[in-house]
Amino acid sequence: MRTHTLIMPLDMHLHLRDGAMLEAIAPLSSYSFSGAVIMPNLVPPITNKQSLEAYKSRIRSATNRRINDDDSDEFELMDMDYFEPLMTLFYQNYSREFLEDICDDIFAIKLYPAGITTNSDGGVESFEIEQMRETLEAMSELSIPLLVHGESDGFVMDREAEFMSIYEMLALSFPDLKIVMEHITTKAAVQMLDRYKNLYATITVHHLLITLDDVAGAALQPHLFCKPIAKRPEDREALREVALNAHPKVMFGSDSAPHPQHAKESCGCAAGVFTAPIALQLLCEIFDSEDKLDNLQAFVSDNAQSIHGLCPEFKEVTLKQEPFKVPESYSLVVPMYANRSIAWSIEDVL
């Protein structure tokens, strides 16, 4: 039986939600990842130090548990914390004084165009540089990265490509600002990586696997519906090219986004693919199929450490090439590939 070990894997884009959902799904990430960048689009969003600290405390409480060794959907309390939540603020036009006060408590600030995805109604309505200048200049000087959900409000298949001009404007106007193009899905976004030194990107596991045909080519698959929506085969191939070859400016970010089963399997299907408990296994399968397993460590950890100067909590995850049947659900959240067998399993976590 073949095995593969990953050291200090990081998820650079993760939704943990709150309340009962947080309690149910957070241990699934903290079990196999050393840390994760936590999205701030709660209701209401995380926009100040008080709400940030309170949310981080709730996350730490939820992640001080781990999965029992029998792979059941059960947890045991642990008197330890081997998972670092990297906290983010929901973008607003913050003052420099505010950012100076909070910069040591946050990893980054997340920008959402208004209304473009889940819980983003309070996002940016107009990308007028002068309106954003104080905030973005302060972020540049304080070394606070800007994470961007890069979509316009145009035709759904063109939204990311149409946003490239915004990325160019931001990169040129604030050359010292570290800008991360989140969960990129297109060849156009891949081509942007090498045009500007301050542009980086995260890529999800599901966008390395699926195209729009998998979502809606036959019967609709609500558990594969997400924003940005999966695109064309040539877009997926462009993503795989940079991920599999460990392009130094790309990082793994699951964008694992849990919703209750009733919210996914309904009219007005909620956007989000839940991959947290199977992300590393699927990545091993993808990279192994292309004889690129040696590059997986860079994609899931080393690049992020280098780009952001991170020093994660130590964790060693050993995976084995043994089939794993994905459960039907995790606490009423249906995962990607539910009830299907995938080629790799997690053998051990140290």
Q: What is the DSSP string of 101-168?
A: HHGGG-SEEEE-BTTSSTT-TTSBS---HHHHHHHHHHHHHHT--EEE----SS-TTTHHHHTHHHHH
Q: How far apart are CA 107 and CA 85, in angstroms?
A: 9
Residue 345 bridge partners (DSSP): 320
Q: How far apart are CA 275 and CA 261, in angstroms?
A: 14
Q: Which of 210, 186, 222, 184 is nearest to 282 (CA)?
A: 210
Q: Is 255 tagged catalytic?
A: yes
Which tokens belong to 126? 């107009």
Which tokens belong to 130? 């002068």
Long-range contacts of 302-306 (CB under 8 A, 24+ apart): 302/246, 303/246, 303/247, 303/248, 303/249, 303/250, 303/251, 304/10, 304/12, 304/251, 304/252, 305/8, 305/10, 306/248
Are the C-beta atoms of residues 337 and 310 closer than 8 Å to each other? no
The residue from 255, 288, 291, 348 that is catalytic is 255
Largest CA distance in the chain: 58
List CB contacts of 98: < 8 A, sequence separation 6 or more: none
Q: Which of 104, 166, 168, 179 is nearest to 136 (CA)?
A: 179
Active site residues: 255
